Structure 1
């Protein structure tokens, strides 16, 4: 079972890494689209009708896809004044409480997000915008990202209690004289 658990954990880590890479490429695309829009609007005086809408939809996907990647890399905001030692019982309990709270939120988002997504997908609804993309495109990131975030949260809980959490990078500023 230990090897099955390790395989599960590596699989979720790989999914989170893949989601993070997709999110990064979406950010690149958004930057490209906005640059294109600026050139079209101010150089050629021919603004587009699609850049704003497509960029907003991609940004929603970025937010939800990147959450599992950020959790995996332990880049969430943490305050370690009293619980700096990763293997202490207090730190493990604090990490567990924080992760369980995140899982409750993510689980709620997955549950209701999936229901809304399914309802609008089966009904064939589209957005009330000029491009009118299908609503499943705008509702799917909530439950897809939430599910991946939840799975990564379970992996992180396992790592907390097995003392396998990587040490976060030192992000302090060094001032040299």
Structure 2
């Protein structure tokens, strides 16, 4: 069990590094777009589209990292009112439901990829499958991090808090 958690954490480090690069590239592109549009009067037609696609990937991959570190927005009223064992069962149940949802999201994302694979983006001219691939990739990352949370929580004892 611990090996799976360590594997997911190693993957998360790589994802975090890639996210940092994507965020840096997106920021530079947006600054370049503003400078080229308002000061040079020559807008970069492709930079806005690429920034949008980078943002989609950042949101999906970033959500998986936030899930792993319990940083997603949640209402803790019910879990906090329960004892340790019942809270643990509730959180595991919610994570299992989340994995089911991420599985559905993955397969629907693959179906969507089939529908958009022949379309090309307006400015970049790339297949629309590239931006839409963020959905199944994000679903897999979210499911892996949910699994890691389940494994971590199932081995946790009450006095480990």
Q: Under a length normalisation based on structure 1, what TM-score does the superposition of the two structures give?
A: 0.78
Instruction: Name the SS of the counterpart of 1:75 in structure 2.
Output: coil
Choose which of 119, 138, 145 in structure 2 pairs with 1:145: 138
Name the residue aligned to 1:131.
124
Name the residue aligned to 1:174.
none
Q: Which runs of 5+ in 2 are unaligned?
A: none
Q: Is 2:66 aligned against 1:66?
A: no
State the Cα distance separating 1:69 from its structure 2 match. 1.0
Q: Could you give the per-residue CA deviations for residues 82-117 of structure 1, whole angstroms, max 9, x where no partner exists?
A: 534897022212312321232122111111212332
Structure with the bigger percentage of helix: 2
Name the residue aligned to 1:106.
102
Q: Which runs of 5+ in 1 are unaligned?
A: 168-177
Are the equivalent residues in 1 in contact too, given 2:80–2:87 (CA < 8 A)?
A: yes
State the Cα distance separating 1:119 from its structure 2 match. 5.8
Name the residue aligned to 2:36.
40
Q: Could you give the per-residue CA deviations for residues 143-177 of structure 1, whole angstroms, max 9, x where no partner exists?
A: 1111121011111111112117x97xxxxxxxxxx
Name the residue aligned to 1:53.
49
Summarize the Cα distance change of 1:86–1:26 in structure 2 as closer, same or farther, 3 Å threshold: farther
Pairwise CA RMSD of aligned residues?
2.4
Summarize the Cα distance change of 1:86–1:140 in structure 2 as closer, same or farther, 3 Å threshold: farther
Q: Could you give the per-residue CA deviations for residues 37-73 of structure 1, whole angstroms, max 9, x where no partner exists?
A: 1111111111110111000111111111112211111
Q: In 1, Cα distance between the equivalents of 2:9 and 2:77?
A: 28
Q: In 2, Cα distance between the equivalents of 1:101 and 1:82?
A: 17
Summarize the Cα distance change of 1:80–1:130 in structure 2 as closer, same or farther, 3 Å threshold: closer
Are the equivalent residues in 2 in contact too, given 1:126–1:132 (CA < 8 A)?
A: no
Q: Is 2:9 aligned against 1:13?
A: yes
Name the residue aligned to 2:27.
31
Q: In 1, Cα distance between the equivalents of 2:8 and 2:19?
A: 16
Q: Number of matched residues? A: 159
